[in-house]
Structure 1
C-alpha cells in the first residue's frame, strides 16, 4: 500500500488518495480501540489488586498462611500494572508498528487517548511520553535496564507465587497435620515470599544489567529498549525453563497429587459407606409421649391426660458410645473432604488461567530464539507479553469467585467505603 506522498509523486488520482484516507481512518480507529482495551486491562490490574490488598488490611480473618501467598500474588500483579511496564510497552507496540509500516502520525491519536493513560503516576508519564511521540527510546540505557529488570522480576515472581499457592494447597490436602502446624509461623511464610522475589530477580536481573559487559555485543539499535539476550537461544531456553517450565512442572505435580489424594479419599469413603450400611442396623425407639408427670401411666390414664402430653417424633439414642463418636468422625471427614474439593477446584481454575496466559509467550520466545529471529517478528512477542499481563487482571477476579472468605472481606470493604462516602457527603 502506497502512502499519500507516494501517490502524489506518481500522479495518483483522487480515488487513490481517498482510499488512503479511508485506510488511515480505519487504522486510527483500530489503534484507538486497542489503546482503550489495553488501558482497560491496566485499570483492572491496578484497581482489582488494590482491592485485594486493602481487603487484607481491613479484614484480619484473611491473615493466614494460605491467604498470605495470595497476597503476595496480588502484590506482584499490582506492581505489574502500577509500574512503568504497561504504559511503555503499550505505546511501544502501537507507535513502532504503525509508524514503521503505515507511516501514520500519532499526535492526533495521542490527543484522543491521553486521558486514559495519564492516571499513572508521574514516573510512568515521564517515561512513556518520549516513547509515545517518537517510537524510540531516548531516556538512556539505565532507565531502559531498570524497566526491563522490573518487568521480568515482577512477572516471574507472579509465576512462582502460583507455585507457592499450589504447594500450600498440597500440604493442606495431603499433609493436614503439617499444614496446621505451619499456620502460625509467619516468619517462615514471609521468608518464603522474600525468597521468591530474590530468585525472580536472579533469573533475569544480572543478565539484563551485565549482558553487554560480559558479551561485549548489543544486538539491538541504540534507540530501542530490549534485553540483549533475546537473540541468544541457549540463554532464552534456560531462562524460559526457570520462569515457566519449572513453575509449570511444579504446579502440575502438586495439582496431580491433590487430585489423586481426593480421588483416593472419595473412593475410600464410598466403600466404607457401602460396608457400613450392609452391616449396621438402626437402633431407634418407637413413638412415645412425654407427659408432665414423672410416673408412666396406663393407657386409660394417658387418654385422660392427653391435653397435658406433647407428641414426639421418633428419636435416636444419643450417647457417648463408640458408635456416636464414629459417626462424628465420619461427619468431620466428610466436611474436610468437601472443603478440600472446593480448594482443589479453585486452585485448578487459577492454574488453568496461568497456563493459558503464559504459554504463548514462552513458546513464541523460544521459537524465535532458536531461529535467530527469522521465523517470528518481534512485534508478535510484544503481543504475547500482554497475555501474561492479562493474567494479572484476571487473578483478582478469581479470588472472590473461588474463595468465600474473600467475598466476605470484599463485602466488608464495600460497607466501610460506603460508610466513609456517606460521611463525606453529609
Structure 2
C-alpha cells in the first residue's frame, strides 16, 4: 500500500540542503538493485499469470460460473490488478527512493492500491463465509445456487466497502487538515503517522476479517468432525445389522445362532467339554449341513425327474442372492464413506493453510504500521516495515494457488488452458501431470 521512504537510512537528510534527486539516487548498490529488480519482476509475473488463469478459466469453462466461484473470480480480479498496476509503479520508487509520477498520480495510485488490497481481504472473508454457509446450511445454500444477482450484489458491496475504508481519507485528508505533509518526490498517505485513524482502519481491515475467517473456518472444521463421527457410527451400525441379517438367513448362520442360544441355556454342560471337542463338533456340524445341501440338490436334479419350472410369480430370491446384494450394498457404502472421509480431511487441511497464510501475510504489516505510527517511525527499522509491506503483495500471488486450485473443476479448466491434448488423452489426471 504505501511506504514512508524518507526515513530510510540511505536517504540524505533534508536539513543538509542537498537536492532531492541527489538525496534519493543510488539507494542500493548495483548488485542489490539488479537482484531486487529480478525478484520484483518474478513476483509481478507470478501474480499476473496466476490470477489471469483464474479469470480465463471462467471464460473457457461455463460450468465454473456458480455462485461460490464468482467470489473466487472477484478475488482474482483484485489480485490481478495488484500485480498489473500497483507493484510495477512501486518498483522504480523503491529502487531509486523517488516518486517520479507527480502528486496527483500518487494520490490515484494510493487510492487504487489501498482499494485492491482491502478488497482482497474482504473477498477472502466472503469466500470463507460462503463455504461456512455451504457446510452449516447446505439445503438453503443449494437452493440459492442459481441466484447470480445475489452473488453479484455481494461482489459489488466488497468493492464499495473497500473504497469507503481508505479512499475518502486519501482524497480529502489534506483539505480537512488544511495542508499536505508529503514532500516532493515522495508518495505515501497523509494519515501515515495518525495512530488513531490507522488503529481504527486496521481493526476493520485486518483484525475483524482475520477473526471472521478464523471463526468461519473453525466452524467448518468442527462441523466436518461432527459429520464424520456421525457417518462412522451409522456405517458401523448398518454394517453390523447387515451381518446379523445375513447370519439369520444362511443355514450355517442359523446353526451358529442356535448353538449360541443353546450355549446360553446350558452353560454348565458346555463348560465341561474340552476345547478341542467343541471345535470338532462345530466343524462336523458345518460339514453335515453342506453335505445335506449337496444331497438335496442332487436328488432334485438327478432323481427327481424333470426339474421344477420357475415362473415369475413362484420365484423367490434365495438367501445367497440376498446376501450378495447386501454385500454389494455394503461395499458401495464403504467406498462412499471412505471418499467422504478423505475429502473432509483434505478440506480441513486446506482450511488450516488458508487461515495460517492469511495471518502470516497480513499480521506483520498491520502490527508494524500501528507501532510505527505511534512512535512516528523512530522505533521500527525501515527494512522490517518494508519487508512486511511486500508480504501483502506476495499474498496476492499466493491466492490463485490457495483457493482455485483446491477445486477439481478449476484444475480441469487450467488443464484445458495449459495442455488440452493431455486432457483428451488422460481426462482424469490431476494438474501435476500437465507440467511433466
Normalising by the residue count of structure 1, what TM-score does the alignment of the two structures yield? Answer: 0.71
Aligned: 1:237 with 2:199:
yes
Aligned: 1:270 with 2:240:
no
User: In 2, distance between residues paired with 1:179 and 1:330?
Assistant: 27
Which residue in the other structure is 2:401 paired with? 397
Which residue in the other structure is 1:189 paired with? 151
User: In 2, distance between residues paired with 1:335 and 1:208?
Assistant: 51
User: In 1, distance between residues paired with 2:224 and 2:422?
Assistant: 42
Q: Tell me the alpha carbon deviations over residues 372-410 of structure 1, each in whole angstroms, 9 at most, x when there is no partner.
A: 222124554333221111111112223464221111111
Which residue in the other structure is 2:246 paired with? 283
Q: Tell me the alpha carbon deviations over residues 240-286 of structure 1, each in whole angstroms, 9 at most, x when there is no partner.
A: 11111111011011011111111222222333445455555142776
Following superposition, the deviation at residue 315 of structure 1 comes to 4.4
Aligned: 1:361 with 2:365:
yes
Which residue in the other structure is 1:34 paired with? 36
User: In 1, distance between residues paired with 2:145 and 2:55?
Assistant: 20
Task: Tell whether the 8 Å contact from 2:239 to 2:330 is kept in structure 1 after alignment.
Answer: no
Larger radius of gyration: 2
Q: Tell me the alpha carbon deviations over residues 33-57 of structure 1, each in whole angstroms, 9 at most, x when there is no partner.
A: 1110111000011111111110110
Alignment of 1:211-250 (within 5 A): 211-250=173-212
Aligned: 1:373 with 2:377:
yes
Q: Tell me the alpha carbon deviations over residues 347-376 of structure 1, each in whole angstroms, 9 at most, x when there is no partner.
A: 432332222111111111011011122212
User: In 1, distance between residues paired with 2:208 and 2:156?
Assistant: 19
The 10-residue stretch of structure 1 (331-340 or 30-39) with the greater mean CA deviation from structure 2: 331-340
User: In 2, distance between residues paired with 1:206 and 1:366?
Assistant: 20
Q: CA RMSD in A?
A: 3.7
Distance 1:222 1:274, change over 3 A: same
Which residue in the other structure is 2:170 paired with? 208
Q: Tell me the alpha carbon deviations over residues 194-247 of structure 1, each in whole angstroms, 9 at most, x when there is no partner.
A: 000000000000000000011123333132111000100000001111111111
Which residue in the other structure is 1:73 paired with? 75
Aligned: 1:49 with 2:12:
no
User: In 1, distance between residues paired with 2:381 and 2:181?
Assistant: 15
Which residue in the other structure is 1:91 paired with? 92
Q: Secondary structure at the match of 2:179?
A: coil
Task: Tell whether the 8 Å contact from 2:193 to 2:373 is kept in structure 1 after alignment.
Answer: yes
Which residue in the other structure is 2:276 paired with? none
Q: Secondary structure at the match of 1:283?
A: helix
Gaps of 5+ in 2: 1-9, 11-25, 252-289, 291-296, 308-318, 424-436
Find 2:60's aligned residue among 58, 61, 69: 58
Q: Secondary structure at the match of 2:145?
A: coil
Following superposition, the deviation at residue 300 of structure 1 comes to 3.9
Task: Tell whether the 8 Å contact from 1:399 to 1:406 is kept in structure 2 after alignment.
Answer: no
Task: Tell whether the 8 Å contact from 1:93 to 1:379 is kept in structure 2 after alignment.
Answer: no
Task: Tell whether the 8 Å contact from 2:54 to 2:404 is kept in structure 1 after alignment.
Answer: no
Task: Tell whether the 8 Å contact from 2:40 to 2:91 is kept in structure 1 after alignment.
Answer: yes
Q: Tell me the alpha carbon deviations over residues 326-357 of structure 1, each in whole angstroms, 9 at most, x when there is no partner.
A: 99899877765654543443343233222211
Gaps of 5+ in 1: 4-23, 97-134, 289-294, 306-312, 420-426
Distance 1:314 1:356, change over 3 A: farther
Find 2:126's aligned residue among 120, 143, 164: 164
The 10-residue stretch of structure 1 (383-392 or 85-94) with the greater mean CA deviation from structure 2: 85-94
